Amino acid sequence: MEKSLNLRELTIINEVAKILSRGYEFTRSLEEVLKVLYSFWDVRHSYVALYKGDVRALKIVKAFGLTEEEVDRGIFRRGEGIVGKVYKDGVPVFLSDIKMSAYLNKTGLRERLEGRESFVAVPVRVGGEIIGVLAVFKDFGEESVERGVELLMIMGTMIGMLYKLDEKINQEREEWEEEKRQLTKALSEKYSVEGIVGRSLAVRRLLDLVEKVAQTEANVLITGESGTGKSLVAKAIHFMSKRREKPFITLNCSAIPETLLEAELFGYEKGSFTGAYTSKKGKFELANGGTVFLDEIGDMPLSLQPKILRVIQDKEIERLGSEKTIRVDVRIISATNKNLVELVSQGQFREDLYYRLNVLPIHIPSLRERKEDIPILVDHFLEVFNQRYHKSVRLHPKVIEVFMEYPWHGNVRELENAVERLVILRDGLIRETDLPPYFFANLSSTEPRKVLQVIENTEREEILKALERTGYVKSRAARLLGYTLRQLDYRIKKYRIELKRY
């Protein structure tokens, strides 16, 4: 046998070496290696089984050309069948006839094969340790079996290198994550309030102001666009204040009809109106000693505003249907996305109430004003929703670039909802092509074309890579890319890709 590698063998080794250099996670690397064996060596069925301590057996971790059911059945005890024997002895095995009793057919794949395939299993090594087995089904025809086994032994060693590289990357990632946690914790001691995420100058100033305001008893008016987190700031003020042990009661002034809003705020006595079958305390009475958060205060009806003013000035309320005065001690935090000064000038909001509420104003910047916080917010929401839905979704850097350009009119709430939808609907690594079209439609007139060009260039590059790896055999390239042949032909014409012949 010739000792030097031929061109095809060198090409296969070179392609696997490229995978080593890309730094993919281990299972993704295995998938790419098995695709290389299919593309350049016509291995239509293959798998890698690694030893798993939890089941004390070899288990298929990645396969090509096998169904999910066949993969699930791929569990091999040490010394069991060909795969178990290779793992135990560390010696490659070639089986020309898989109908022999030595081949256990645990996956059930044999019934789907054409009958000309031989079975080869080689050990996967990390240094001197055997960690698993690489197994392939191949019709060797006139090819040298000895050279084929030798090539697969090299592949087994390279898979071991991928495993070791992934182990090192994971270790470094864990160390980096721990370092990031420690740094975040240190920063959080000064620049963090529960639920308020960000490291921008705007957020740091906001948190400094919240900390100062929380130590006072003055009423607070929080302004800002919808979705910026006004309710979070209100809660932060309460729970950092001396009133933290007392109730924090929220009422949305725009969500309750005017006829019911007064009863909700001040309570009522039995029989005070139709349907009042019993007495009920209002929000101010329930919050005695604590804080009342009046959200959307700009929608407070004019008829009720004098009664709110009385609570602030006299610290007294009266339930509907009662003349009895009830003393209350509450701090009022209110919030609005409207311009109260304009409402005052239009006669839709009392000027004296505005000044009583606006003792300490806090304005929350929009997400557009603190875009540097977007990556931090995305990381935070990914962690929350991955944990909630038991997933490990990640975002490609190009997705973050799109997020940085998107206007986010719904602010942090819109970003949170967008990340949650992506985690629910997608798996693994999310690319910009996975984003809904509205992300690009809402960019400036020049941005959609620029982003679309990036997407098209990326797709064209992936098609070219697949064609090169399969020797420009379109059917194989389509299978690698997950396209139908018709879809691939359409894209070849669209991108004017020249098909080379070998």
With b for 16 or more beta-carbon neighbours within 10 A and e for fewer, the 200-215 pattern comes to bebbeebbebbeebbe
Sequence-separated contacts (24+) of 493-497 with Cβ below 8 Å: 495/456, 495/459, 495/460, 495/463, 497/460, 497/463, 497/464, 497/467
Q: At 360, list the tokens.
A: 């300490």
Residues 377 and 414 in one domain: yes
Output the domain CATH number for residue 119. Answer: 3.30.450.40
Residues 392 and 309 in one domain: no
Output the domain CATH number for residue 445. Answer: 1.10.8.60
Domain finish residue from 365, 394, 412: 365
What's the average model confidence in pLDDT over 172-199?
60
Residues 479 and 448 in one domain: yes
Q: What is the DSSP letter of 295?
A: E
Residues 147 and 207 in one domain: no
Residues 61 and 153 in one domain: yes
* 486 against 81, higher pLDDT: 81
pLDDT tens profile 397-429: 889 989 998 999 999 999 999 999 999 988 888
The torsion angle over the Cα atoms of residues 233, 239, 242 and 245, rounded to 10 degrees, is: 150
**Residues, the chain, total?**
502
Residues 77 and 157 in one domain: yes
Which secondary structure element, helix H or strand E, spans residue 115, and what is its range?
none
Q: What's this model's pTM, rounded to 2 decimal places?
A: 0.53
| Closest-CA residue to 139 (of 49, 67, 44, 70) | 44
Full residue range of the structural domain in which residue 472 is found = 369-494
State the chain's mean pLDDT as an integer: 86
Is 439 part of a structural domain of the chain?
A: yes
What's the average model confidence in pLDDT over 313-318?
92
Judged against a pLDDT cut of 50, whether residue 191 lies above it is answered with no
pLDDT tens profile 201-251: 888 899 899 999 999 999 999 999 999 999 999 999 999 999 989 999 999
Q: Do 121 and 138 form a contact (C-beta atoms < 8 A)?
A: no
pLDDT range class, residue 128, cuts 50, 70, 90: confident
* pLDDT over 70 percentage in the chain: 91
Is 196 part of a structural domain of the chain?
A: no
Distance CA 47, CA 108 (A): 13
Residues 56 and 115 in one domain: yes
First to last CA, the chain: 26
- What pLDDT is stored for residue 9 in this prediction? 86
Is 500 part of a structural domain of the chain?
A: no
Is 183 part of a structural domain of the chain?
A: no
Q: Number of structural domains, the chain?
A: 3
Residues 356 and 382 in one domain: no
Helix 485-494 vs helix 474-481: crossing angle, to nearest 10: 100
Is 180 part of a structural domain of the chain?
A: no
Q: In what order do the strands lie in the sheet with 360-363?
A: 248-252, 291-295, 331-336, 220-223, 360-363
Helix (H, G, I), strand (E, B) or coil at 66: coil
Judged against a pLDDT cut of 90, whether residue 123 lies above it is answered with yes
Residues 126 and 206 in one domain: no
Residues 334 and 438 in one domain: no
Distance CA 136, CA 34 (A): 9
CB atoms within 10 A of CB 419: 23
- What pLDDT is stored for residue 419 in this prediction? 94
Judged against a pLDDT cut of 80, whether residue 84 lies above it is answered with yes
Judged against a pLDDT cut of 60, whether residue 78 lies above it is answered with yes
Q: Do 49 and 74 form a contact (C-beta atoms < 8 A)?
A: yes
pLDDT range class, residue 314, cuts 50, 70, 90: very high
Q: Do 288 and 328 form a contact (C-beta atoms < 8 A)?
A: yes
Domain finish residue from 335, 350, 365: 365
Distance CA 274, CA 267 (A): 14
Residues 239 and 330 in one domain: yes
Distance CA 361, CA 431 (A): 41
Is 189 part of a structural domain of the chain?
A: no
Which of 98-107, 160-169, 191-200, 260-269 shows the highest mean pLDDT?
A: 260-269
Residues 237 and 340 in one domain: yes
Q: What is the DSSP letter of 365?
A: P
Is 297 part of a structural domain of the chain?
A: yes
CB atoms within 10 A of CB 436: 11
Pairing of strands 220-223, 316-317: unpaired
Q: At 448, list the tokens.
A: 């959609």
Is 179 part of a structural domain of the chain?
A: no
Distance CA 337, CA 264 (A): 22
What's the average model confidence in pLDDT over 350-374?
93
Domain finish residue from 365, 398, 418: 365
Judged against a pLDDT cut of 50, whether residue 1 lies above it is answered with no
pLDDT tens profile 378-389: 988 999 999 999
